[in-house]
C-alpha cells in the first residue's frame, strides 16, 4: 500500500503549497517521494517517482529533530550541503558545485542554489506518508522500486553508476576551484 501511495499518489504538492503556512506537510515522521514534471537528466523519465527520503533518519545514539515538514521544506529551499536530493539535482542539471565557508561544505553558491530552487518550484512535486519507523520502509521501497536518484542501498539501480560518476566529477571540479565567499 505504501509503495502505491508514493508511486501513484492522489495528489502531489508543489513548492508553493509546501512552503505556505500552515503547510500541508505534517510535522511527523515518515517517508516522502519526489516526482518531476521535467526529468533532471535525459536518461530519466518525467512524471514519475524518482527519489524517496525519510524523516527522521535512524540514529542509534541520539534523537533527530527532523520531521516530514522540516525535511521537505528544506529540500525545496535549502542548499546542497544539507540535501542529497538538491546535490543530485544540481549535478544532473549541470550547476557548478563550489566549496564554501571553511572549504569543507559544498553548495551551488547563492545564484546556483536560487536557480535550483526555481527549477524545483517549477518541476518537483512531493507526496508523503506518515510512518513511525521510516527507515524500515525506505529500505523496502529502494529494494523494490526503480528509484534512480537514490544512491544509498541502491547499487542495483541501472542509473546508480552514472549518477555516482556525475556527482564525483562535480566534487572533483569543486575541489580544484577556490573557495567561494
pLDDT digits (tens, 9 = 90+) for 43-84: 999 999 999 999 998 765 556 789 999 999 999 999 999 999
Tens digit of pLDDT for each residue in 97-106? 999 988 899 9
| Residue 144, all three cell numbers | 523494490
pTM for this entry: 0.94
Work out the burial of residue 93: count CB atoms within 10 Å of its CB; fewer than 13 is exposed, 13-18 middle, 19 or more buried. Answer: middle
How many CA atoms, within 13 angstroms, populate the side-chain half-sphere of residue 9? Answer: 17
pLDDT in tens, 125-169: 999 999 999 998 999 999 999 999 999 999 999 999 999 999 999
Q: What is the mean pLDDT of residues 81-90?
A: 97
Best CA proximity match to 5, nearest among 135, 131, 121, 123: 131
Residue 10 pLDDT level (bands cut at 50, 70, 90): confident
pLDDT for the residue 120: 98
Amino acid at each position: 500500500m505504501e509503495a502505491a501511495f508514493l508511486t501513484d499518489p492522489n495528489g502531489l504538492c508543489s513548492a508553493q503549497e509546501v512552503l505556505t503556512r500552515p503547510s500541508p506537510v505534517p510535522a511527523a515522521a515518515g517517508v516522502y517521494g519526489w516526482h518531476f514534471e521535467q526529468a533532471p537528466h535525459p536518461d530519466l523519465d518525467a512524471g514519475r517517482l524518482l527519489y524517496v527520503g525519510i524523516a527522521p533518519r535512524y540514529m542509534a545514539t541520539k534523537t533527530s529533530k527532523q520531521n516530514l515538514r522540516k525535511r521537505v521544506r528544506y529540500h525545496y529551499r535549502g542548499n546542497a550541503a544539507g540535501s542529497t536530493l538538491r546535490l543530485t539535482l544540481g549535478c544532473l542539471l549541470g550547476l557548478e558545485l563550489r566549496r564554501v565557508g571553511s572549504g569543507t561544505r559544498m553548495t551551488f553558491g547563492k545564484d546556483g542554489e536560487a536557480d535550483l530552487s526555481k527549477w524545483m518550484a517549477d518541476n518537483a512535486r512531493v507526496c508523503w506518508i506518515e510512518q513511525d519507523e521510516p527507515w524500515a520502509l525506505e529500505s523496502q521501497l529502494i529494494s523494490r522500486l526503480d528509484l534512480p536518484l537514490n544512491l544509498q542501498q541502491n547499487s542495483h539501480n541501472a542509473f546508480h553508476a552514472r549518477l555516482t560518476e556525475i556527482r564525483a566529477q562535480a566534487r572533483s571540479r569543486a575541489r580544484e576551484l577556490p573557495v567561494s565567499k
